[in-house]
């Protein structure tokens, strides 16, 4: 899957450009990130095949 180039505005419905972060920076060496959102706990993790999955 190819993403649009930065700054093209393709697929961007907001007035501001969304923040971009490398997944390695988020997940670190553990391959997981815990996100707290509206009193719920979510875990974003990298699978063995290199994909990302978000679980509640």
Q: Does the residue 23 lie in any domain?
A: no
For residue 11, is it within any domain?
no
Sheet of strand 40-46, all strands in order from the earlier edge strand to the far edge: 32-37, 40-46, 52-55
What's the structural domain count of the chain?
1
- Whether 45 maps to a domain, the answer reads yes
pTM over 0.95: no
Residues 44, 33: Cα–Cα separation, whole Å: 5
What gap in Å lies between CA 1 and CA 13, rounded to an integer? 20
Instruction: Spell out the per-residue pLDDT of the chain, length 56, in tens.
Output: 555 555 555 555 567 999 999 999 999 999 999 999 999 999 999 999 999 999 99
Instruction: Please check whether residue 5 lies inside any domain of the structure.
Output: no
Q: Is 38 domain-assigned?
A: yes
Boundaries of domain holding 44: 29-55
Do the domain assignments include residue 12? no
């Amino acid at each position: 899957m190819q993403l649009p180039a930065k700054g093209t505005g393709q697929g961007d419905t907001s007035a501001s450009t969304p923040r971009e972060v490398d997944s390695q920076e988020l997940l670190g060496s553990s391959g997981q990130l815990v996100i707290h959102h509206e009193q719920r706990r979510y875990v974003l993790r990298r699978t063995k095949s290199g994909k990302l999955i978000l679980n509640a």
